[in-house]
Every structure is written in structure tokens, then in C-alpha cells.
Chains A and B, each alone.
Chain A
């Protein structure tokens, strides 16, 4: 029998028809929608006179554009309010499940999907958001789509997709203390570049990946898109099953046993061939931070910004332009650079484990005076747990400001913006120019590094700040 990869198994099981010398008609099990990339899709459905074909396969929540204060009140910004209201109208009209602002399971779409057990192994999942790759942590094929494709899924539950090439990234060995899954993914992206996996779908494997919790795996899969990959996935195992057991939408009773049996078969056959393979050693990975304006521009926190040696032409011009934007010079260290803001949140690192790790490290410390520290839970559930576990109290005593769930300062569509020229060390996923507000300078790092920076007020290695 032909040896196939995990990706092949799931992909091939979802092809309704292959168009000769064209794409596959690809069936989508679950579709998440939010307020920003769905309104035009609904509008076009109406123009065509078409309805939502399988409303039970779509789940909605407003996240990108919502305020993170006073969520019980009417949204002040008129355009944001219109988008959220349009989402409510559309969900009501077509019978789509909506986790609305303020409700028990409201949150960032990529946080609530797994939390509710909607995301399951073997599924195909799409959303009009590139960080849909997060759900791949469960052994699902999950990726971001454009609004035309949102419309296709609403109308037919299918999209037209050419099958991507396959890449495997193996990380073996044990991670050092103070090194997290965020450091793993920032390390990988720095190694293979922000475009290094374009055209590929990635499977993450190896003992270092297998040893990670579900939440840590989600952080890795989440940032697959930051190296150009459409998505990334990890074979489901006991960790996956334990996470899903008892979740609201997880199968129960006999159906659970049957599901686990099926999910257990979802793995890459030994000897299956990938189009490209990379292998890294966990022991080589240290706390990472970005210094430039794409996620591939990352170095060890203790490292120096690369010089322009060996660069030429538009590559060198783009590199220097990026450093100029950041206010950095080639060859200098980042350690010791003053920071103005820290942001803990987003679909990359806004889950309860992230908040726990920040709280456990800042406990008994105070944030530095020059730092404004925002902590934005990924969902109402995360917020509730943070309160119940006493984390909010610890964080507030350390001088962090807790805000309400949403995408917030990750993309600064709402009022949570970093002022022009200011430096933010952020647990989010993108350090593009202006991503956190016009002129904002973003440096991406792990929640641990962010906690250390909050306390010191400057770029520092968490292992030097928090001993033990």
C-alpha cells in the first residue's frame, strides 16, 4: 500500500471532485466566521439569490474589531458597531450559531473553537483569517481563506483548492528551561524565512513537539502562516484526546471511543515522502525575539541584529528600511533596549496557560514604571479561569491592566493601539509596520519573555530575570 502523510489522509478524504488540470473541490467540515471578513460574503449571497447551505457547519463570533472595555455597552465606534450588528443579523437570518459579545463562550475565534471542542482531529476547517492554522494542532487541516471563499463555503460548503506541497519540520530533544513553544516557532521562522514555506502545508513532528501541551501546540501551528505555509498540523495523540474529552462539542459515550479509535489512525505512515524536510534540535533553541518588520526577522534575545554582510540590491534596501522603521542599527544587540508597552494576548498566546505562565513569573514583582502592560484573555472562558485561579489579582498587583476578550492590540482595529514610535514587546504573531497602530514598533516574543520585559522595562532574557 502507498505510504501517505497525515496531510494526504485528511485532504484526500475531503475531495468531492478533482477538476482536470485544475483545483480540487474541497469539502469543509467546519467554518468559523467573524465580523470583518464575512459581511461582503453574505451580501454577495443575497445578490446571487443563494442561501447558506449547511448553517450548522458554520460558527460565528465577533473578535477582530470589538472593544476590550465596556463590552456590555453599545459599541461606540460606528463602523465597528455596524460590522458586529451585521454579523448578528446574518446569523439570525440564516440560523448560524453565534457566540456574541459578552456571552459565556465569546472570544477570539481560534481560541473558542478548540475550547468548545468544535475543532477535532481529521476535520477540515476554514475561516476568513490566516491564523486559522491554529486548529491544525489537533491534527486537522485548517487554513485561512479570502472573503470570496467564505461566500463559497456558505453557499456550498466547498472551496476550490489545489493541493499544496508537503513539508515536515521535526524538532527533537528537550527544551531548555525558560524556552517555550513560541520560541520554537520564532526560531523555525527565523531559520527558514517569512516566505520559506510558501506553497507548502507543514506537519510538525519530533519529540520536542510531542512533549508540548495542546495550548503550546496551538501557538506553533498558529504561526505557520508567518513562514508562508497555508497551515501546519500535528498528529493527534493522548494529549489531544485528553484535551478534548468532556468538551461541550466533543463526542461522548460510545461515540467518544469510536472517535478516539478513528483519530488514533491519523498519522503519517513510516516511509511516507514529503516534498521538503527540516530537522532542528530543541537544545539549540533559546528565548527568541524579533527585531524587524516580518516574523522571519528573529534572533536570540541575547543575540545581535544581523549585519548587512552578504546582502545586496533590493534585499539590502528592504532590510535597512525595516531597521530604520524599528529605530535599530545592524550589528547591535537588542538586549537592554527600552520598551514602552507589553501585550499579552491574541490567538497565538492568549490562552489560559499563557496567562498562568505570565502570572507565575510576575508574582511578587512590579512592572517597571516605563511600561504600560496590557493583558487580554483570548476568550470569556479564559477570563473566567484567570479570575477563579487568582491570576487576575496577581497580574493587577504587578501593574498589568486586564482587558476584555478580543483580538485587541494584535492588529489594532479597535482602540487598543500602540502609539507611533513606541516599542511594544508582544505575544502576538505579526510585527509588520503599523500592525499594532500606525508607527508602532512591535517585537514578538514568548509570554515568559514578555513577563520579564514588563518587570525590567527593557529587552531581557527571562532566564536572567526569573531564577529557578
Chain B
């Protein structure tokens, strides 16, 4: 479905420096039984966030009131494994609009863009700067701008540009999705289908 427009986001961030966070950690398979898209945020990072009895684990970052915000700053190779879009639905439903990492798994990144969560790939050095800045001051604000294609640490002004193709950039800024585009070229696809 068409999603929220995304131009510039300024927010504090939640740090999760663990590497190779797979989609089974983001949303375990046993919570994939719904037939609708809403409500997955409650089980985001379920087994890291809650113990077996369902009590919050104090040492997990989402349970630490020090950190909040619409940006998740994650470790290297974030979102590997299963193609479940539920992982991004959970991230979105929890309230994040942007995920920053030095390296994303492919399908996860596609899934993010398809529902309007912005994946921002930064250099490992810039990721380190973000983690350090958030650790020393959790109220640190980060600005992510799609028109400028930049991510900026507002406390120091340090900034880095990120890649996004112009088609997706346009989609994100206008809240369009791929199906809108594809439905508009129905007769061209029909013609092609007959050749297959």
C-alpha cells in the first residue's frame, strides 16, 4: 500500500551494535501467524526483549528508557536470513522510520524501501561515530534527509551522504509504491507476458 511520505527526519536514535542480526531475532517465526500487517511491534526483538515468562529483560536496549527515537542504529549485516517482511512491519509498528547500518542484507533492505522505512547505509567509521555519540549522550539528534541524501549528527555537524536510486528516492518522498508504477504499465506487461 502507499505509505507515509518521507523527506527529512530528525530524531534521537536507539543503538543496537550487535552484528549479524537476523530476521529471526527481529521477529521470531512463532509470531508470524497473523493474517494482517498490524501489531508486530509488540514482538519486535521478542527473545532479546523479554524472558520466557514475558518479563522485560533490563539489559536490552528497547527496555532502557535512556534510549528512544525513530531511528534504529544497527550493527553490521543487519536483517540477514528469512525474507519475512514481518521484520520490517515490526520495526515500523514499533515506531522506527529509519534504520542505519554499515551493511544490510539484500532482501531486508528491499522490504524496508517497499513499506517506507528508510535503510541508510553508512561507512563503518560513521557508524562507529554514531554509536559513540549516542553512548555519550542519548539525547543526541540525528537528521536524515532524503532530498539531500545525507545523514548528519546534529551535535557536531558531522555528515555523510548515502545512496538511494532516484526512482526509490522519488517514491519515498511522495509515498508512492511499486505497485502504483506497475499497474500503470499493464498493457506493456500484457504484451510481454504473451511472449513467455
Contact = CB atoms under 8 A, between A and B. Distances in A.
A207 B33 CA distance: 43
A230 B106 contact: yes
B22 A294 contact: yes
A54 B110 CA distance: 24
Contacts of B165: 21-23, 162
- Please classify the interface of chain A as helix (H, G, I), strand (E, B), loop, or mixed, using the class held by over half of its residues: loop
Interface of A: 16-17, 19-23, 25, 27, 29, 36-37, 39-40, 43-44, 47-48, 50, 53-54, 64-65, 77, 79-80, 82-83, 86, 128-130, 144-149, 151-152, 155-160, 162, 164, 194-195, 198-199, 225, 228, 230, 293-294, 314-315, 317-318, 321, 411-413, 420, 430, 432-435, 438-439
Contacts of A158: 182, 189
Given A48-B1, A198-B77, A230-B106, 4 more contacts: A40-B85, A83-B33, A230-B107, A413-B33
Contacts of A16: 185, 188-189, 192
6 contacts: A37-B83, A39-B35, A48-B1, A130-B83, A144-B83, A152-B182
Contact of B18 (A149, A230, A321): A321
A314 B130 CA distance: 14
B-side interface size class: 35 or more
B146 to A, nearest CB: 15
Given A156-B189, A294-B80, A149 B110 contact: yes
Given A40-B37, A79-B33, A314 B22 contact: no
Given A37-B83, A413-B32, A156 B182 contact: yes
Interface string B2-24: 00000000000000011110101
Contacts, number: 194
Interface of B: 1, 17-20, 22, 24-25, 28-30, 32-37, 47, 52, 75-77, 80-86, 88, 103-107, 110-111, 114-115, 165-168, 177-179, 181-183, 185-186, 188-189, 192-193, 196
Nearest to B111: A146
Contacts of A25: 181-182, 185, 189
B18 A54 contact: no
